[in-house]
């Protein structure tokens, strides 16, 4: 059993309780314009190129088996060019030969054992802090069989497990993963199906159905709501989500809290490295606007539905 992992982040304190190791899996069914990890969207490995680090030495040209790299003469001297990016297999041969780190591979094949071994290196921190492992992405459910084996192995080792998800998978996938997940970090991007489709490329009916299903199973869920200026931060839309969650909490849903994550442009540089245009034209919130959101949430937070603005994301 192997999966495609594009990053592992140790000592995280923002994606579940305690100190955690984040395992980022490739592949996502949504295309959110504000995505901060665009290298996660494709399920296959990809090459990222940082032109500011390139010396146009040409080492990558003969290394690439697909012949995608070339050098060209320009008014500023010799420049490096990557063509037919869609033909790239993500083998990493070019990155291996690049002396300046201008080329790097996003995504590599790992076995369940390799992932679990990496996770367990920090086991003492989990025991001390109540932390554990969080599977993220991309969307971890797109590699459901691999995710399930990793979660099972971590729990066998006494590690707390969390799964960060956009909710876009069939219910059977969630039903099979749920017994091995201690905490779900679950995205709600918009309550209106058509608006959700316009923002992400897919409707939200399956997402909301899966969320209700997890509540019915008694799973603990931390709700996460990205705030994107002018796209999904209108008070009426937020109130609709809060009302739905209050109803679920009144019925006994185990809601760990609701985190609102203000928009940032951290992913913009990664789009350039992938040779893609950054699709979101929104401007980050001002401090005054963020303070207004804090007041908005404070007026609506209840003991059964704690709301908070999370500035790290």
Domains and CATH numbers, the chain: 2-43+108-309 (3.20.20.70), 46-106 (3.30.70.20)
242-248 LR contacts (CB < 8 Å, sep 24+)? 242/300, 242/305, 242/307, 244/191, 244/208, 245/305, 246/302, 246/304, 246/305, 248/212, 248/215
| Partners of residue 136 on adjacent β-strands | 24
pLDDT at 23: 98
Residue 302 banded pLDDT, cuts 50, 70, 90: confident
The secondary structure of 243-295, three-state, reads: HHHHHHHHCCCCEEEEEEEECCCCCHHHHHHCCCCCCCCCCCCCHHHHHHHHH
**CA proximity to 97, closest of 62, 49, 46, 53:** 62
Give me the pLDDT at residue 89, please: 84
Tell me which residue of 149, 125, 164, 123 sits closest to 37, measured CA to CA: 164
Tokens in use for 269? Answer: 């540089």
Q: What is the mean pLDDT of residues 130-156?
A: 97
pLDDT digits (tens, 9 = 90+) for 284-297: 999 999 999 999 99
Whether the predicted pLDDT of 33 surpasses 90: yes
Q: What is the pLDDT of residue 79?
A: 84
Q: Is the pLDDT of residue 313 over 50?
A: no
Residue 312 has pLDDT above 70, yes or no: no
Instruction: Name which of 293, 212, 198, 280 is nearest 252 in CA terms.
Output: 212
**pTM score, whole prediction:** 0.92
Q: Give dist(CA 313, CA 36) in Å, integer.
A: 9
pLDDT tens readout for residues 63-118: 999 998 999 887 777 888 887 777 888 889 999 999 999 999 999 999 999 999 99
CA atoms of 127 and 79, how far apart (whole Å): 51
User: Which of the residue ranges 175-179, 251-255, 298-302 would you say has the lowest mean pLDDT?
Assistant: 298-302
Per-position b or e across 95-129, b if 16+ CB within 10 A of its CB? bebbeeebbbbbbbebebeebbebbbebbebbeee
Query: Does pLDDT of 153 surpass 60?
Result: yes
Check pLDDT > 80 for residue 224: yes
**Backbone φ and ψ of 56, nearest 5°:** 55, 40
> How far is CA 228 from each of CA 40, 172, 212, 289, 308, rounded to the nearest angstrom?
20, 31, 24, 12, 16
DSSP 305: B
> Cα separations (Å) of 222 from 50, 178, 284, 307?
36, 14, 24, 11
Query: Any idea which residue has 């969650």 for tokens?
Result: 245
- On whether the CB atoms of residues 146 and 2 are closer than 8 A, the answer is yes
Q: How far apart are CA 245 and CA 239, in angstroms?
A: 10
Q: Is residue 71 exposed (0-12), middle (13-18) or buried (19+ Cβ within 10 Å)?
A: middle
Mind listing the pLDDT tens digit for each residue in 258-280?
Answer: 999 999 998 999 999 998 999 99
* Percentage of residues of the chain with pLDDT beyond 70: 99
């Amino acid at each position: 059993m192997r999966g495609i992992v594009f990053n592992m982040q140790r000592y995280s304190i923002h994606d579940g309780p305690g100190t955690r190791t984040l395992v980022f899996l490739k592949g996502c069914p949504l295309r959110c314009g504000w995505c901060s990890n665009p290298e996660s969207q494709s399920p296959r490995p990809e090459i990222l190129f940082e032109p500011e680090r390139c010396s146009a030495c040409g080492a990558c040209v003969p290394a690439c088996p697909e012949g995608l790299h070339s050098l060209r003469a320009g008014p500023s001297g010799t420049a490096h060019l990557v063509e037919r990016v869609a033909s790239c297999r993500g083998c990493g041969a070019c990155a291996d030969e690049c002396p300046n780190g201008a080329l790097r591979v996003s995504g590599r094949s790992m076995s369940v054992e390799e992932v679990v071994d990496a996770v367990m290196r920090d086991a003492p921190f989990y025991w001390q802090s109540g932390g554990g492992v969080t599977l993220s992405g991309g969307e971890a459910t797109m590699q459901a069989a691999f995710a399930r084996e990793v979660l099972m192995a971590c729990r066998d080792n006494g590690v707390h497990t969390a799964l960060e998800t956009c909710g876009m998978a069939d219910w059977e996938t969630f039903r099979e993963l749920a017994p091995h997940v201690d905490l779900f970090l679950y995205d709600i991007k918009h309550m209106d199906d058509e608006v959700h489709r316009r923002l992400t490329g897919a409707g939200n009916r399956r997402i909301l159905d899966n969320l209700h299903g997890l509540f019915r199973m008694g799973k603990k869920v931390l709700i996460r709501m990205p705030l994107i200026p002018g796209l999904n931060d209108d008070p009426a839309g937020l109130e609709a989500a809060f009302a739905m969650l209050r109803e679920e909490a009144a019925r006994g849903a185990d809601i760990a809290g609701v985190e609102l994550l203000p928009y940032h442009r951290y992913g913009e540089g990664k789009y350039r490295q992938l040779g893609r245009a950054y699709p979101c034209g929104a401007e980050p919130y001002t401090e005054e606007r963020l303070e207004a959101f804090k007041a908005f949430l404070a007026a609506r937070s209840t003991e059964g539905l704690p709301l908070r603005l999370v500035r790290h994301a």
